[in-house]
Structure 1
Amino acid sequence: MSESPVNLDELRNRIDAIDSEILRLISERAMCAQTVAQVKTADDPQAVFYRPEREAQVLRRIMALNTGPLDSEEMARLFREIMSACLALEQPVKVAYLGPEGTFTQQAALKHFGESAKSLPMAAIDEVFREVEAGAVNYGVVPVENSTEGVVNHTLDSFMDSSMKICGEVVLRIHHHLLVSSTTRQDKISRIYSHPQSFAQCRKWLDAHYPQAERVPVSSNAEAARLIKTEWHSAAIAGDMAAKLYGLDRIAEKIEDRPDNSTRFLIIGHEDVPMSGDDKTSLVVAMRNQPGALHDLLEPFHRHQIDMTRLETRPSRTGAWNYVFFIDFKGHVDQPEVAAMLEEVRVRSAEVKVLGSYPQGVL
């Protein structure tokens, strides 16, 4: 027992020394990032500082090298924040997201770009597209599909008329909580606010625990959290960010019906993204209205052994009862086998629009 204080002091001294070395190395990395910015600007005054493929490669490398005791995803999140802070020294990234503040889309934006990015809330998905197209922000973050409730049609439709490129993706585990304010009488809850998607994802839990409560759909979970601050008989379904932002208490946690409930978000921007080594491609295909059209579309994927990960159908805007296909597959347009497959699809279709090739989500 007498040796414990001595050993503890030694350990604390060791931690202090390690912290000093970490500080020195982070500062050295930051100075290197500043030099990178100077070199890029000298070569091209309009240089792009954020490189999605490079960041994905760095994070994958960190995860592969990690030996613990921190798990690989936690280690990658730490490096994501270091990279975010260093990138801000080169050029702060402005990101528009589907707001208001406190939504899961903001959480996805921060997960992908880090806390040093400047995030700006937008009222609608098409506003996010417009802000990016106008150059008011560098990138946008929009939801595209949920593992429980399926695709977000508004996002798919926005791509039909937009020149924006998909630069990346984020997959976020979605945990819903039942939130109340300090003035809520928990035994008198008769109204619950939330986004329609959240109500759908928590339907069974609500039926079991609050079958008589009125379910009031609102534009976002953050808006639901804001509304209950002034109502003593109401609760909200929202996530951790909204709870923290509005100072709410969780009376029931993780009430989603499926424990693997996740939402996929897309990063939109102006630039094509080079290969990262583990990529996906998204495209829109309009087929001619003729027998066997779907078979003609899918056959080149099978023959070239391209792994299709998603196929969605949306009504075309060119005529009644015509449809377009939204397709995700593994691979990059610069790979020879992908280029060959796409050339065949173009011959067989009325129109093909590549929405982007981008790194598969790392975090």
Structure 2
Amino acid sequence: LEADVKICAEASLEIHLYLLSRSGRAEDIRSIVSHPQALAQCRHWLASHFPMPHVRVDDVASTAQAAQMAAVDPSLAAVASSLAVELYSLEVVASNIEDNANNITRFLVIGDHQPRPSGDDKTSLVFSVKDEVGILHRMLEPFARNRINLTKIESRPLKHKPWEYLFFLDLEGHIGEPRIQKAVKKLEGRCLFIKVLGSYPCGV
């Protein structure tokens, strides 16, 4: 949040997950590792094919790290993309193990510039508030009043600040539009902190 960069594009890509190991044999696997998000996307498949406690499932920092670990430990398998097969000389134990066949992941492109309005834009912002009755309603009211459609809202607790939260918001429109500026200006007077993360063309 402190970095002086902007979201300047987004892309949604279809993601397929693979179970990879040195031998490619399921019977050799004693532990499975991957990034928490990747493991969450194939949780049911793993539970049905490798039930605990016979096989451990552990989080690591990234799918790349998981593949690196599997490349040196024959008892370990990684959940990763097919690219890891060539990069780390691994074998495929199972393909397309994601629970949802329409497994789509949204990626954001970060840069140092603000794209110009395209006519089909999205704006992302983050703000923090105290935990008070009706606070979220007061935060969102300026958007409804200016007829701005919200496409996403998520909350996260602030570290080391009990009862204070960060809200991440996506809305339709560009920060260069007067109605968006008006709503954000109104919001500034109601919250503890606000930052526009970027306005960018809607992805496909």
- TM class by shorter chain equals 0.7 to 0.9
Are the aligned partners of 1:184 and 1:233 in contact in 2 as well (CA < 8 Å)? no
Give yes or no for contact 1:185–1:232 (8 Å, CA) kept in 2: no
| AA at the equivalent of 2:60 | V
Counterparts in 2 of 1:290 and 1:215: CA distance versus 1, 3 Å:
closer
Question: Which amino acid counterpart does residue 30 of structure 2 have in structure 1?
Answer: S
CA contact (8 A) 1:203 1:257 kept: yes
User: Residue 185 of structure 1: CA displacement?
Assistant: 4.3
Could you tell me which amino acid in structure 2 is paired with residue 273 of structure 1?
P
Rate the CA distance shift 1:282–1:178 in 2: closer, same or farther, 3 A: same
Greater relative contact order (Cα 8 A, min sep 6): structure 1 or 2? 2
Deviations 1:290-345 (A, max 9, x none): 43221111112122221111112223468431223211111101112222222222
Q: How many Å apart are 1:267 and its aligned residue? A: 1.7
SS of 2:189's equivalent in the other structure is helix
Within a 5 Å distance, the mapping from 1:1-363 to structure 2 comes to 159=1, 161-181=2-22, 183-211=23-51, 212-287=54-129, 290-316=132-158, 319-362=161-204
TM-score by length of structure 2 reads 0.87
CA–CA separation in structure 2 for the residues paired with 1:337 and 1:262: 31
- Structure whose residues are more often strand by fraction: 2
1:282 CA drift (Å): 0.9
Distance 1:271 1:318, change over 3 A: farther
Question: CA 1:187/1:324 → structure 2, altered by over 3 Å: closer, same or farther?
Answer: closer
Would the aligned equivalents of 2:128 and 2:192 in 1 still touch at CA under 8 Å? yes
* Aligned equivalents of 2:74, 2:193: Cα separation in 1: 55
Give the secondary structure class of the aligned counterpart of 1:280.
strand
- AA in 2 matched with 1:344: K
Is the CA contact 2:24–2:91 (under 8 Å) kept in the aligned structure 1? no
**How much identity, in percent, do the aligned residues show?**
43
Letter of the aligned partner of 2:57 in structure 1? R
CA 1:242–1:344 in structure 2 vs 1: closer, same or farther (change >3 Å)? same
Change (3 A) 1:224 1:324: closer
Cα distance in 1 for residues equivalent to 2:14 and 2:99: 13
Q: Specify the SS of the correspondent of 1:287.
A: strand
Q: Partner letter of residue 233 of structure 1?
A: S
* Cα deviation 1:41-74 (Å, max 9, x = unaligned): xxxxxxxxxxxxxxxxxxxxxxxxxxxxxxxxxx
1:72 aligns with: none
**1:83 — aligned with what?**
none
Contact kept, 8 Å, 1:184 with 1:234, in 2: the verdict is: no
Measure, in 2, the Cα distance between the counterparts of 1:317 and 1:233. Answer: 37
Other structure's SS at 1:171 match: strand
Amino acid at match of 1:194: S
Aligned to 1:120: none
Cα distance in structure 1, aligned partners of 2:37 and 2:8: 25
Q: Specify the SS of the correspondent of 1:345.
A: helix
In 2: Cα distance, 1:289 partner to 1:234 partner: 44
Does the Cα contact within 8 Å between 1:171 and 1:262 map onto a contact in 2?
Answer: yes
- Matched residues in 1 for 2:194 and 2:73: separation? 51
Deviations 1:187-233 (A, max 9, x none): 33222222222222211111111112122332221222222223333
Q: Deviations over 1:246-305 (max 9, x none)?
A: 232323111111122222222222222211221111112233554322111111212222
Amino acid at match of 2:198: G
Corresponding pairs, count: 202
